[in-house]
């Protein structure tokens, strides 16, 4: 919302920048604003076109980037250069998505590390942050063209179950696109705003004489790639999230995948055969998406592909996707349990996301909660409309609504024996803070390692590590005498800051937790996004440093492995490995992160076969004579 303000320092009039709401979706994305005259949220569209921008990115041979409908047209003809479902890669390593790697028709790099996953297009390598930034940049340009005014500030929505790494990645993508991301908002919370549930302005007297009664609502959000359900209590403009649950890798894409597998089984084809033909894989995926939409209002779907007839009935489709729907219902049950509520305690069930158009989904959710669902607002636009309302709140134009959100997963640190000590439990209100005191384990211990984790398991090995740093300079004293206070501060965006302080001496260290995957704070400091103007340069520098660090780690690991197992390697393997290591070492001295990634991939391809062979031999020796 643009408005005029007086500059206190100069007394001059200035026009404040437009703040837009953005729904960065797996399948489609869009921008919304508050209409300056009606004061109602609207999704931006040009003339009679759709408000939806397909979240598809195409790279042509010249390296130019195309986003949206034009990019979607290249999905079949150039699948290796056309990226879809980038949101599903956000904040993930290859290990996180390898079980579904065949779903993607483009090349997702397996680097044998916990680094953020990368996508290779030609000789260029892109992170999910890069890919998402292209979509956000397209949305920014579209909004500026429609509104005829610069757009530099935005509220961006994310699934409620996005972890800290994924939220930070979304914020970085916005900055790289030239947007000042004022707030990261959970999609279900945004949806509840768009429905206007419980807002004072909805009452006949503006909330003064007839304030609305307290309502407890469930927001069921099933999109293209993610699912979450949130339980909210709303009264007098206060939105309080009681609990949230979900799955960041469950959505309409999985329904499409189920149809594809059904058709492959009919044709006697395997998934490996599908992944070997990218054009066919993309074509059949798009046909499956078409079938899913068609079967929402019809009993039968039939289409031709490469001379073959593909058919599926509504009954078969519902049988295929029933397990996926059941997973979402289990999440609803868990959310109710966390909120300490029964089904009867829910007043309204709000449906969000394009995948909720599937009749089986509506029916299953209605049967679970025991009442009809509310799908009166366009499920494709509802999240963006809510983001626009939040943008209006941040602009100071709407003071009747207050949002109280929660952190979706527990946050804690590693203690002795690899245990997870939780400081901020899941579903704690944010912003919020917590602190706890720890002590040293050895006499004269001068430092303490602080490892920050996120998750619900008792052992840290089963949770996700977010960051690690050392508190140094602790004065020498007997074990147990030092008092180290570790404090967590989680802000309104769900981003975590961690501080460790030795109370007797005052020695202190603090960091803001980011998805670093091995980079030290000092290495990242030069890459911080100080301003929107330098965002592109900073991101490029960070990508180069991350590539160098990954290359150095691979060189070190490979050298140790070769030295230990040289007797088990063939002469040709040793020579090829040495040549690849030398090429990688040389690339680290250059300013080309894509070249570094190429050399990393070449060394991985050489070393992976013999590393797996030696590992298999070691396991065989260890298990010899034993029964499993």
Known catalytic residues are 23, 87, 187, 221
- 3-state SS of 260-309 is HHHHHHHHCCCHHHHHCCHHHHHHHHHHHHHHHHHCCCCCEEEEEECCEE
d(CA 484, CA 501): 5
Distance CA 54, CA 134 (A): 12
Alpha-carbon torsion (315, 320, 322, 325), positive or negative: negative
Q: Could you tell me which residues come within 8 angstroms of residue 402 by beta carbon, excluding any fewer than 6 positions away?
A: 237, 238, 239
Q: Tokens in use for 549?
A: 């660090």
Question: How far apart, in Å, are the Cα atoms of 69 and each of 73, 259, 587?
Answer: 7, 24, 37
Residue where the block lists tokens 């408005």: 3
Task: Output the DSSP codes for 57-98.
Answer: EEE-TT--EEESHHHHTTTTTSGGGEEE-GGGGTT-BHHHHG
Cβ-Cβ contacts under 8 Å for 332 (sequence gap 6 or more): 218, 220, 229, 245, 365, 368, 369
Angle between helices 382-394 and 187-195 (to 10 degrees): 90
Return the bridge partners of 56, or none.
84
Edge-first strand listing for the sheet containing 484-490? 432-438, 484-490, 496-502, 508-512
CA 56 vs CA 28, 94, 159, 173: distances in Å: 8, 21, 19, 15
CA gap 181, 530 in Å, rounded: 13
Residue partners of 260: CB distance under 8 A and separation at least 6: 274, 284, 285, 288
Q: What does the angle CA 144 – CA 147 – CA 150 come to, to the nearest 5 degrees?
A: 40
Contact by Cβ (8 Å): 438, 415: yes
Let me know if 597 is exposed, middle or buried by CB neighbors in 10 A (0-12, 13-18, 19+). Answer: buried
The Cα–Cα gap between 354 and 351 comes to 9
């Amino acid at each position: 919302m643009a408005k005029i303000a007086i500059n206190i320092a100069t007394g001059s009039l200035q026009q404040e920048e437009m703040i837009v709401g953005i729904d960065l979706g797996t399948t489609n994305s869009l921008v919304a604003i508050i209409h300056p005259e009606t004061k109602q949220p609207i999704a931006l569209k040009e003339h009679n076109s759709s408000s939806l921008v397909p979240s598809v990115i195409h790279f042509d041979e010249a390296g130019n980037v195309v986003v949206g409908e034009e990019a979607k047209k290249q999905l079949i003809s150039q699948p290796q250069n056309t990226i879809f479902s980038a949101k599903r890669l956000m904040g993930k390593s290859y290990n996180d998505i390898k079980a579904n790697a065949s779903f993607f028709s483009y090349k997702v790099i397996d680097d044998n590390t916990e680094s953020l996953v990368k996508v290779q297009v030609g000789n260029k390598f892109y992170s999910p942050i890069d890919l998402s930034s292209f979509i956000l940049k397209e949305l920014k340009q579209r909004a500026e063209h429609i509104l005829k005014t610069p757009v530099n500030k935005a509220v961006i929505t994310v699934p409620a179950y996005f972890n800290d790494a994924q939220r930070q990645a979304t914020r970085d993508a916005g900055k790289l696109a030239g947007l000042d991301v004022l707030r990261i908002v959970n999609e279900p919370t945004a949806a509840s705003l768009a429905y206007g549930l419980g807002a004072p302005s909805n009452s006949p007297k503006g909330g003064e004489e007839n304030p609305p009664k307290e309502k407890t609502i469930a927001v069921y959000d099933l999109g293209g790639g993610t699912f979450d359900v949130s339980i909210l209590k709303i009264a007098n403009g206060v939105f309080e999230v009681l609990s949230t649950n979900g799955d960041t890798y469950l959505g309409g894409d999985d329904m499409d995948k189920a149809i594809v597998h059904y058709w492959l089984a009919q044709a006697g084809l395997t998934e490996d055969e599908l992944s070997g033909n990218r054009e066919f894989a993309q074509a059949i995926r798009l046909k499956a998406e078409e079938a899913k939409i068609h079967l929402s209002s019809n009993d039968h779907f039939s289409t031709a592909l490469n001379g073959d007839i593909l058919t599926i009935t509504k009954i078969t489709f519902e049988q295929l996707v029933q397990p996926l729907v059941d997973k979402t219902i289990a999440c609803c049950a868990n959310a109710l349990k966390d909120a300490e509520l029964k089904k009867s305690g829910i007043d309204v069930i709000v449906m969000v996301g394009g995948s909720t158009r599937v009749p089986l989904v509506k029916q299953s959710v209605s049967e679970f909660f025991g009442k009809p669902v509310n799908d009166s607002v366009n499920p494709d636009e509802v999240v963006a409309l809510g983001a626009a309302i939040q943008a209006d709140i941040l602009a100071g134009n709407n003071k009747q609504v207050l949002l109280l959100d929660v952190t979706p997963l527990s946050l804690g640190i590693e203690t002795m024996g690899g245990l997870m000590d939780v400081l901020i439990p899941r579903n704690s209100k944010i912003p919020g803070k917590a602190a706890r005191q720890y002590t040293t384990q050895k006499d004269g211990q001068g430092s303490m390692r602080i490892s920050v984790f996120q998750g619900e398991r008792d052992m840290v090995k089963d949770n996700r590590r977010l960051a690690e740093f050392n508190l140094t300079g602790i004065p020498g004293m007997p074990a147990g005498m030092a008092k180290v206070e570790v404090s967590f501060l989680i802000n309104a965006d769900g981003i975590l800051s961690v501080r460790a302080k030795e109370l007797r001496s005052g020695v202190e260290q603090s960091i803001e937790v980011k998805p670093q995957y091995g980079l030290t704070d000092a290495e990242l400091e030069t890459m911080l996004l100080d301003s929107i103007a330098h965002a592109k340069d900073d991101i490029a520098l960070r990508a180069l440093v991350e590539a160098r660090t990954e290359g150095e780690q691979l060189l070190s690991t490979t050298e140790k492995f070769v030295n230990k197992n040289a007797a088990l390697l063939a002469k040709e393997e040793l020579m090829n490995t040495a040549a690849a290591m030398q090429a990688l070492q040389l690339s680290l001295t250059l300013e080309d992160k894509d070249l570094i990634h190429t050399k990393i991939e070449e060394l991985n391809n050489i070393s992976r076969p013999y590393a797996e062979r030696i590992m298999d031999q070691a396991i065989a020796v260890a298990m010899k004579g034993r029964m499993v």
